[in-house]
Amino acid sequence: MSLNDKSRPVLKFNTGRFYIEEIIKMRMSQLMNQTLREAPAGTEVEGHRLLLRAGFVRQQAAGIFSYLHLGYCTLQKLEAIMRQEIDALGGQEMLMPLVHPAAVWQESKRWYEIDDEMGRFQDKNGRDMVLALSHEEIVTDLARREIQSYRQLPRLVYHIQLKWRDDPRPRAGLIRAREFTMLDSYTLDADDAGLDKQYWAHYEAYFRIYGRCALPVIAVESDVGMMGGTLAHEFMYLTPIGEDTLLLCNACDYKANRQIAAFRKTAVPAETPLPLEKVPTPDAKTIEALAQFLGVPKSKTAKAVFMTATIKEGQSKSDKLIFAVLRGDMELNETKLANAVKAQVLRPSTEEEIRAVGAVPGYASPIGLTGITVVVDDVIAHAPNLVAGANEVGHHLKNVNHGRDYTADIITDIAVAADGDACPHCGEPLTAVRGVEVGNIFKLGTRYTGTMDATYLDENGVARPIIMGSYGVGVSRLLACIAEHYHDEQGLIWPVTVAPYQVHLVSLRGGEETAVTLYHQLQQAGVEVLYDDRDESPGVKFNDADLIGLPIRLTVSGRSLQNGGVEVKLRHQPERAITSLADIMPYVQTLLKNLHSQFTT
């Protein structure tokens, strides 16, 4: 029988670029996966438990998963939405390799900047290779080969590809996996104005993508991290299971990841600098103990935090001791400090490292120390007469003043913004919430093209570096977040735009023959239908239908036929109704149209 035999059910699926005709035949008796009564032990979050129980994914190793048929169908739906939106921006889809020669990563310097997360190996000829954790280097290499003139700019290319990051702490299933699928798009421009246009076009397109996937997200300012560049935003799904902390202002719409979030710091009243005074402070090794012992507020103390930074200089690395000084009522933001000292890695210093420079743990002061980098928070530079360590056990110094008693190498904001702190824009209280990052956009500028010599000739024949942007959506993580957002005690509840199938057809005793006829009618009408033809009890079939969570359930049984036709139930509603066989097809199509209309952008 030929593929185009019209006696076989055919589905026309609109991908946004062309129509694919393919035979769709999916009965639950033929599915490779099976549903589970309980999720495997150790499963951390409810969405992932349900993906496992409903047979969407199976774990192969820590942070590594197989997507069974239902899970892969949803991945394809997500990818189709992304393709439509990036194509609408003028994107050209391509496919770049998973395995990269190390040479391009060495050119960009990230070979030396990224530690254990990078998957490195050698081929049989002893050449260093990399498992892709992103594709900036490959795009830059392609650009310097393909782009010669300003007439070839701007360009937008993208692909959907696997990534590997050897995360030491994979958790929450697909939300923090080691192998994952991402949409990557990259823009190439002649100037910053072109980058700015493409950056904000992606910003808007990403909201359309998440809207069509029915996942509520917000965009927050974020750290550029290992990607580099001058500006970045993250798209965050707000949930208590998220690992990122976000600071939001409801008054002026300020939003930022805690890694870079600023806040308005209360200024300390001006005072005349007083003479240094060493005072005994037995057993006062903490700010709390010190403030209580001396009867002063924590804001009048200087907190000492020692961190050891790994600094890359050329192709070599060295460890440097960093002495961070904050006001006692504030906490250190390690991301801000790492950015300030350009650290590749930052870790707490050991007692041996602290004592080696002449400081005393618990009683440390920057006064009189050499061979260290002193970084003070910007508020410290103007805070008079603070209490700081004396570098002597059981003693502190009163009336310490920056600029008189010691001088910082760097003065910058290194404090953590917290819930209730004042918004840096309007002064209203900030609110701290948790979130999962499901996408990001970066203004890379010449971070890669400058290092790798990817240039174009301008109108005057002058070689200039190509200006780049990088944009990513975690496809598999997006699937996980939708499952986390849409479920109840019975199972998953898929939005119609990303459900693996639109209709779950359940055949019970007395309705088998009618169910088969309806199955073929639905397919011929272009409706995606999963047919439960198994020899199981009604309870098992209904429980599995709720667990899998398709938008519409149709039940055909001897009882439903006696009552006038087919039982219809929407997964997200408790009501059931009987619709006649004559009306069932147009009714299902109307339901699907109404469900889709909720996600029109």
In the predicted structure, residue 7 carries a pLDDT above the cut 60: no
In the predicted structure, residue 18 carries a pLDDT above the cut 90: no
Same structural domain, 510 and 559: yes
Task: Grade residue 495 by pLDDT with cuts at 50, 70 and 90.
Answer: very high
Alpha carbons 174 and 217: distance in angstroms, whole number = 18
In the predicted structure, residue 84 carries a pLDDT above the cut 60: yes
Structural domain count of the chain: 3
User: Can you read off the two tokens belonging to residue 593?
Assistant: 């149209």
User: Residue 142 CA to chain centroid, in angstroms?
Assistant: 26
- pLDDT tens figures, 280-303: 999 898 999 999 999 999 999 999
Same structural domain, 405 and 514: no
Same structural domain, 445 and 545: no
Residue among 319, 347, 342 at smallest CA distance from 332: 347
Mean pLDDT of the chain: 91
pLDDT score for 317: 79
Same structural domain, 214 and 240: yes
- Please report whether residue 547 resides in a domain: yes
User: Residue 328 CA to chain centroid, in angstroms?
Assistant: 33
Neighbour tally for 600: CB within 10 Å: 8
Report whether the peptide linkage leading into residue 154 is cis, meaning its omega lies within 30 degrees of zero. yes
Furthest C-alpha separation in the chain:
97
- Please report whether residue 579 resides in a domain: yes
Segments forming the whole domain that contains residue 230: 75-98+133-261+431-482
- Please report whether residue 22 resides in a domain: no
Same structural domain, 289 and 402: yes
Same structural domain, 477 and 510: no
Alpha helices in 399-511 (DSSP H): 449-452, 475-485
Instruction: Return the SS3 of 384.
Output: coil
Alpha carbons 329 and 333: distance in angstroms, whole number = 13
- Please report whether residue 272 resides in a domain: no
- Please report whether residue 181 resides in a domain: yes
- Please report whether residue 538 resides in a domain: yes
Same structural domain, 289 and 149: no
Same structural domain, 283 and 359: yes
Asked if 112 and 446 count as a contact pair (C-beta separation under 8 A), the reply is no
Burial, 51: exposed, middle or buried (Cβ in 10 Å; 0-12, 13-18, 19+)? Answer: buried
Same structural domain, 87 and 197: yes
Q: How would you write 497-563 as a 3-class SS string?
A: CCCCCCEEEEECCCCHHHHHHHHHHHHHCCCCEEEECCCCCHHHHHHHHHHHCCCEEEEECHHHHHC
End residue of a domain, out of 363, 385, 412: 412
pLDDT score for 19: 40
In the predicted structure, residue 15 carries a pLDDT above the cut 70: no
In the predicted structure, residue 42 carries a pLDDT above the cut 70: yes
User: Can you read off the two tokens belonging to residue 240?
Assistant: 């208590």
In the predicted structure, residue 560 carries a pLDDT above the cut 50: yes
- pLDDT tens figures, 432-490: 999 999 999 999 999 999 999 999 999 999 999 999 999 999 999 999 999 999 999 99
Alpha carbons 106 and 120: distance in angstroms, whole number = 12
Alpha carbons 202 and 217: distance in angstroms, whole number = 15
DSSP string computed for 258-270? TTT---BPPPPPP
Assign residue 138 the CATH number of its domain.
Answer: 3.30.930.10
Neighbour tally for 90: CB within 10 Å: 12
Length of the chain counted residue by residue: 601
Same structural domain, 228 and 330: no
Same structural domain, 321 and 183: no
Task: Grade residue 4 by pLDDT with cuts at 50, 70 and 90.
Answer: very low
In the predicted structure, residue 22 carries a pLDDT above the cut 50: no
Find the Cα–Cα–Cα–Cα dihedral 350, 356, 361, 365, rounded to 10°: -130
- Please report whether residue 14 resides in a domain: no
- pLDDT tens figures, 331-366: 999 999 999 998 888 999 999 999 999 999 989 999
H or E segment and range at residue 221: strand 218-221
pLDDT score for 2: 33
- Please report whether residue 317 resides in a domain: yes
Assign residue 579 the CATH number of its domain.
Answer: 3.40.50.800
For residues 245-251, average pLDDT: 95
- Pairing outcome for strands 92-93 and 155-164: parallel
pLDDT score for 72: 95
Same structural domain, 223 and 88: yes
pLDDT score for 25: 62
Assign residue 366 the CATH number of its domain.
Answer: 3.90.960.10
For residues 495-501, average pLDDT: 96
Backbone φ and ψ of 56, nearest 5°: -85, -35
- pLDDT tens figures, 111-165: 988 888 999 999 999 999 999 999 999 999 999 999 999 999 999 999 999 999 9
pLDDT score for 315: 67
Instruction: Return the SS3 of 573.
Output: coil
User: Residue 287 CA to chain centroid, in angstroms?
Assistant: 35
User: Residue 234 CA to chain centroid, in angstroms?
Assistant: 7
pLDDT score for 312: 75
In the predicted structure, residue 384 carries a pLDDT above the cut 50: yes
